Amino acid sequence: MNECYYDKRMDFFYNRTKADTADEWTGAQLIGVLCFGTFFCLFIFISNSLVIAAVVKNKRFHFPFYYLLANLAAADFFAGIAYVFLMFNTGPVSKTLTVNRWFLRQGLLDTSLTASLVNLLVIAVERHMSIMRMKIHSNLTKKRVTFLIISIWAIAIFMGAVPTLGWNCLCDITVCSSLAPIYSRSYLVFWSVLNLVVFFIMVVVYIRIYMYVQRKTNVLSSHTSGSISRRRTPVKLMKTVMTVLGAFVVCWTPGLVVLLLDGLNCTDCGIQNVKRWFLLLALLNSVMNPIIYSYKDDEMWATMKRMICCSSEDKSQERRSSRIPSTVLCRSTDTSGHYIEDGIIQGTICGKGDLGDKGNS
């Protein structure tokens, strides 16, 4: 029967695997790393909080897509918490950690990654069902969206806790990995392959959606009289989502590949030399997402800017919007990106508004 090492500190496992715990990170270098990480973590907290607040505050964002986008921002916010915990429990401190504390450190990171990944997958399915079925709005109700969000976090927490629940090498240290000294190499292979496969599936789905929307937009452009910006709204929305997905894949793929190589016991791959840089790259993903939202979505940026400036433009805009004719309201609703085609918009929502105006006249 194999001996288990639950009572050992992490120095026992690091020394056995000869893993580099960055003992040279002392003095000015350690202070620099902490300052760098603190700055970006503060930015993650503030910017993603603004995104969540913007979705709550602006009624134009009260749709399933934006609720899921706000949940993605919440996942990035959680990632900031995980990085703060990591900053103060890494380097020379790593060897002094207990097994449970080390599990908590890695579990927070795994949970944040899974929450973002599953959330992007749900957004992909929601966009695919909505656009391919030629629906103006998603069929998801608020209850269903709430259930999906709860499910996303339940899956994320479970995946983050899998090693703690037993898939580790504490009772068989011959299969311990190098980067994660108490994780089994088989778990690293499973974890990295699973995430890379999901990456590939989402990329294929979004490319399919984008090509479909682009084709429909080009066909309708010669048959509708709407403005070019209105016809291109779905394309702009898909570009935003694909930019977020692209940034996620670029930032996380190198780290997952390194984990895969470690799981395959590649001793000549030099993974110890690049692990810190790939971790910083993953950190940048949570920094980039709020920038992408605000840069690609003018309405999101305007809402965030108003909240930052604490101006009173919200009330005045609401007063003005109450006097806007129904045809204009249809156009403003279209800017939120939930309409697939200009022809559908004119034939449904705006058409109803026109009939109502005629009836009143």
Could you state, in chain order, the average pLDDT of each consecutive group of 10 residues for the chain (361 residues)?
Answer: 80 76 58 78 91 89 86 93 88 86 93 92 82 65 90 95 91 87 92 92 84 73 53 60 84 89 82 78 84 79 82 49 39 39 36 41 40
Read off φ and ψ for residue 165, nearest 5 degrees.
-75, -10
Question: Looking at the DSSP assignment, which residues form a beta bridge with residue 98?
Answer: 9
Give the largest CA-CA distance in the chain. 88
Q: How far is it, in rounded angstroms, from Cα 178 to Cα 162? A: 19
pLDDT of residue 105: 92
Instruction: Supply φ then ψ for residue 340, to 5 degrees.
Output: -85, -45
The C-alpha atoms of residue 66 and residue 63 are separated, in whole angstroms, by 6
Q: Do residues 67 and 138 touch, judged by C-beta distance below 8 A?
A: no
The fold of 10-221+235-309 is: Rhopdopsin 7-helix transmembrane proteins (1.20.1070)
The secondary structure of residue 210, as a DSSP letter, is H
CA separation for the pair 129, 78 (Å, rounded): 28
CB 344 within 8 A of CB 133: no
- Each domain of the chain, given as residue ranges in start order, spans 10-221+235-309
**Within 13 A of 316's CA, how many CA atoms are on the CB side?**
4
| Residues 45, 293: Cα–Cα separation, whole Å | 15
**Identity at 329, one-letter amino acid code:** L
What number of other Cβ atoms are within 10 A of residue 164's Cβ? Answer: 15
Residue for token digits 């840069």?
Answer: 295
Per the CB < 8 A criterion, the answer to whether 209 and 127 are in contact is: yes
Q: What is the dihedral sign for C-alpha 197, 203, 206, 207?
A: negative
In this prediction the pTM is: 0.77
Dist. CA 283–CA 79, nearest whole Å: 8
Q: Are 132 and 216 in contact (CB under 8 A)?
A: no
DSSP for residue 1: -
